[in-house]
Structure 1
Amino acid sequence: MRKWITGSIAAFLSLSLILPSSVSAETTIAKDRQQQTYPTLKKAKQPEEAGFSSEKLKQVDDLIEQDISKGFPGAALIIIKDGKIVKKEAYGYKQKYNGLNPLKHPRKMKTNTMFDLASNTKMYAVNFALQHLASSGKLDLNAKISRYIPEFKDRPEDIIKGKNRIRVIDLLHHTAGFPASWNYYDPNTAGRLYSQTREKTLSFLSKTPLAYEPGTKQLYSDVDYMLLGLVIEKITGQPLDHYTENRLYRPLGLRHTMFNPLKKGFKPAQFAATELMGNTRDGTVWFPNIRTYTLQGEVHDEKAFYSMEGISGHAGLFSTVDDMAVLLQVMLNGGGYGEERLFSKRIIAQFTKPSKTDATYGLGWRLNGNTDMEWMFGKHASSRAYGHTGWTGTVTIIDPAYQLGIVLLTNKKHSPVIDPAKNPNQFEGDLFSTGKYGSVITAVYEALNNQ
């Protein structure tokens, strides 16, 4: 009997050594899900319950409302601390214009208004998926991109070569060599990589030329995250929207976080409007099939809308402050929410570790690594704070040192372009303090009683 038991134990140990890491990791996650329950958000009866001053929080309202009175379009804000919703407010208007014409009766912003998250898509769709896949053992951050995308390789005509050595982690660090953007949707600039269909654009990602030798500098790039979205699709065998919505958001109970919401039962009136005349910058830009109407419920980003059919790793996600608060709490909880575990604390630590070349970058996440980031994190965030911004006017702050999360969603691009000829990308909304983020974030921290 003793020999049989000894032999069985030995066989089990031998088997465990040859099991693939993904099986072991999946088993661990399943076991932890059964054993651990994570905090879920509850509404604080009073801000003081979570260490905030009600009086000082009114100064946050005053700051945003002053901008609204001077012409800033609108915003929604949620603050969470210690697992409690401390504050949730809506300000201004979700729509003030129809084309270039001001509405006689602007439509008020609501706390359940859905926003185009722009580049916050990178964190709460792609990074969340990658963190989950890495925790499950299905993704090796140090693997070469060609492991997941076999066609990812240098081409004879490429002036700068090195794709054969680019790893997943290089895309996350924005050191892979790609340009900041590539306008696939515009034949005048895209050249042979012109595409307004998702399938063709996906095939063009691997053919996009490098702008510098990989690893020699750090350049924030949408192309990096378009490729990372494709990596997720290759690993999971699912489109990015199907995977993130069904595997990440729905298990968390989120019903307003998704790609292409107008195709999924939502109406334009439920969204904060963005650019006044499509992507024309008030009528000064043109390319084939360009939208000319006020955008509401359609992703603003040109690459995401025209070339990726609304589903891309760099932009395209919509959400509300309530749903975003849950995603922030997942990070503050160490990877889970309620009975759902998405990833491990170890993976979070790896993704939020400062880059060796730039302390303000983790793996995709922006970090409060030095005073250069005060514009985003304000004056009082801890050195452990991280988050991201989005071009449409969105910012998220996660500060583990305070167990604090801040989501400020604005539609600052729902305003006229100041000087289309001189700078077609600067809108009136960009000039307000609320649209610059830092002053609002500073005011939130100053409302903490221990500040």
Structure 2
Amino acid sequence: MSHTSAMLRSGAVIAVALGTLTVPPAGGAAASAPPAFAASSPAPSPSGTQDVRDMTPAVAGRLDAAVRKVMREADVPGVTVGVWTPGRPDYVRSFGVANKDTGQKMSSDLYMRIGSETKMFTVTAVLQLVDQGKVGLDDPIGEYLDGVPNGDRITLRDLAGMRSGLFNYSEDKGFFKALTSDPQRPFTPQELLAYSFRHPVMFQPGQKFSYSNTNLILLGLLVEKESGQRLGDYLQEHVIAPAGMKHTVFPAGNEFPGPHAQGYTDQTATGKVEETAGWNPSWAWAAGAMISDLDDLHTWARTAATGVFPDGTAMVGPAVQKQRLTTPPTGIPGAGYGLGIFDVQGWIGHNGSLPGYEALTVYLPSARTTVVVLLNTDITYRGNTEPSTLFGRAITRVISPAHVFDLPTPAAATR
């Protein structure tokens, strides 16, 4: 990718990838394909496993081959994959290297940046405030925060469901220049909003789906205002700790617990590949700054999809969780997006991408199966496909051929 086209991917790619923080060279609006069906979650089958193949040695071998094929084709340095179905053997394997310079092997215990999977956590905090009666999903954001364009009309539901019409700050050329000229600089939420608010609103709220990180910055500020806590502190106390997640962090700056993988991106000022472990993710804040590991995301997948903590207590009340999982069409065939969560061919969860790292964490209720993929690059395949999508597709073709996790390329999505 040349320096003239290096942009933090958003626009069509972000609409297709649903959870990425990075965007395509030309930027642009969300995909405008014919309306897709509203994705819904099949009811669990009696056995809980009929939709997923048993993890026999032969199936595990096919998975190994599928993962290695994606790695070769997309030039991915390292990846860790986990597949879990109750009552069946687990599949947890790492491939390649965590650091190309040192040759450190990729392993399942490494901390990784998870990008837009952060959105599931931030929206969970909002939904907990809804349960407590502190805010309402259909309240306009202007009731809580001043200075938001169309703030008297954009609801919390519009923000969480990516239907606000607010410009995505990470598509702003000035923002891209500021970030790539000094990747370790801190950004405040207010600075991020300023990049968005210099642009006119793209459409009236609720009219269509358009993925925008701006929405989550506003929701993060809402959580802080109504809870009286810093967002990271709130999430730790009310979401992360109750879920029993011991290796999940909302960093204040560029701190990165060890051991972690080195990340590799071409989203740079020069377009050349650079290492990103030391980049400051404050530019993503409530939209994508979090860090986690394989085991914690295994726990989180089911917790997010069910609204229930591992000890059986409610993370989010059933009525609110039902609204969360109502996933209207996105314009992407087979994919619906609810409140900070997607449903792609029955797989519920989110993906994440920010410079150097990608993640995919999904749960198939019909089989109670979880898939987590963590990798240390965000460099797209042939310039338009997120590598996490390639892994998700390859893995689910093997284990759940009736539920293949697939998101089309921008060209296919916008035809």
TM-score when normalising by structure 2: 0.70
1:117 Cα offset (Å): 0.8
CA distance, structure 2, for counterparts of residue 266 and residue 293 of structure 1: 20
Q: Which has the larger radius of gyration?
A: 1
2:393 is aligned with 1:438: yes
2:137 is aligned with 1:141: yes
2:357 is aligned with 1:364: no
Runs of 5+ unmatched residues, structure 2? 1-51, 179-184, 404-415
What is the aligned counterpart of 2:276 among 291, 295, 307? Answer: 295
**Which amino acid in the other structure matches residue 219 of structure 2?**
L
Distance 1:215 1:330, change over 3 A: closer
Give the 3-state SS of the residue equivalent to 2:295 in structure 1.
Answer: helix
What is the aligned counterpart of 1:168 among 156, 172, 176? Answer: 156
**CA displacement, residues 37-82 of structure 1 (integer Å, 9 cap, x when unaligned):** xxxxxxxxxxxx9943332122111211234456421111122223
Contact 1:177 1:211 in 2 (8 A): yes
CA distance, structure 2, for counterparts of residue 91 and residue 357 of structure 1: 33
Q: How does 1:296-375 map onto structure 2 within 5 Å?
A: 296=277, 298=279, 304-305=281-282, 308=283, 312-338=285-311, 340-355=313-328, 360-368=336-344
1:211 Cα offset (Å): 2.4
Structural RMSD (CA) = 3.5
Distance 1:87 1:137, change over 3 A: farther
Give the 3-state SS of the residue equivalent to 2:99 in structure 1.
Answer: strand
Contact 1:116 1:297 in 2 (8 A): no
Match of 1:402 in 2: 367
What is the aligned counterpart of 2:235 among 226, 236, 244? Answer: 244
Q: How does 1:120-199 map onto structure 2 within 5 Å?
A: 120-123=117-120, 125-149=121-145, 151-154=146-149, 162-182=150-170, 186=174, 197-198=187-188
What is the aligned counterpart of 2:66 among 50, 63, 68? Answer: 63
Contact 1:332 1:403 in 2 (8 A): no
Contact 1:53 1:447 in 2 (8 A): no
**Which amino acid in the other structure matches residue 95 of structure 1?**
N
What is the aligned counterpart of 1:210 among 201, 220, 239? Answer: 201
Give the 3-state SS of the residue equivalent to 1:313 in structure 2.
Answer: helix
CA distance, structure 1, for counterparts of residue 87 and residue 239 of structure 2: 20
Q: Which has the higher helix share?
A: 1
**Which amino acid in the other structure matches residue 393 of structure 2?**
G
Contact 1:278 1:295 in 2 (8 A): no
Bigger Cα displacement from structure 2, 112-121 vs 390-399 = 390-399
1:248 Cα offset (Å): 1.3
Give the 3-state SS of the residue equivalent to 1:165 in structure 2.
Answer: coil
Match of 1:223 in 2: 214
1:167 Cα offset (Å): 0.6
Contact 1:260 1:298 in 2 (8 A): no
Contact 1:64 1:434 in 2 (8 A): no
Contact 1:57 1:444 in 2 (8 A): no
Runs of 5+ unmatched residues, structure 1? 1-48, 97-102, 155-161, 284-291, 369-380
CA distance, structure 2, for counterparts of residue 277 and residue 211 of structure 1: 28
CA distance, structure 2, for counterparts of residue 184 and residue 434 of structure 1: 25
Contact 2:55 2:89 in 1 (8 A): no
Percent of aligned positions that are identical: 21
What is the aligned counterpart of 1:106 among 103, 106, 126? Answer: 103
Contact 2:166 2:196 in 1 (8 A): no
1:187 Cα offset (Å): 6.5
**Which amino acid in the other structure matches residue 94 of structure 1?**
A
Higher RCO (C-alpha under 8 Å, 6+ residues apart): 2
Contact 1:258 1:318 in 2 (8 A): yes
